[in-house]
Amino acid sequence: NAGVTQTPKFQVLKTGQSMTLQCAQDMNHNSMYWYRQDPGMGLRLIYYSASEGTTDKGEVPNGYNVSRLNKREFSLRLESAAPSQTSVYFCASTYQIAGGYNEQFFGPGTRLTVL
């Protein structure tokens, strides 16, 4: 099993460019998440998908859109990149059980720089 995979690993964009970060998991998890991590800020939730066909905003959704393409794949799109979106982006997945144990497994991250 590959676990959670993310592409690309590194990306440099110019302000105003768009791009899509890809995430896939092969653990049959129902819930998937996108986080960004900035120095001194910990991980902040951008969007999540509790199950296939649903998406919800997290703490910092502005400037992003997501698509839960199927149970395995959850993509994050930046429509018009801004320098404030320079960050490390992590995708995570879990098998969500209400009120139960919800270990999240993380992908290797995408390091994005917006010039």
Partner 1 sequence: QKEVEQNSGPLSVPEGAIASLNCTYSDRGSQSFFWYRQYSGKSPELIMFIYSNGDKEDGRFTAQLNKASQYVSLLIRDSQPSDSATYLCAVILGEYGNKLVFGAGTILRVKS
Binding site for partner 1 (CB under 8 A): 31, 33, 35, 40-45, 48, 50, 58-59, 90, 96, 98-99, 101-104, 106-109
- Residue among 17 and 57 whose Cβ is closer to partner 1: 57
Neighbours of 45 (CB within 10 A): 16
Which 3 state secondary structure label does DSSP give 101? coil
- Residue among 17 and 30 whose Cβ is closer to partner 1: 30
Q: Which residue type sits at 89?
A: Y
Residue 70 CB, shortest distance to partner 1, in Å, is 20
- Residue among 27 and 41 whose Cβ is closer to partner 1: 41
Return the C-alpha torsion angle 19, 79, 54, 42, nearest 10: 80
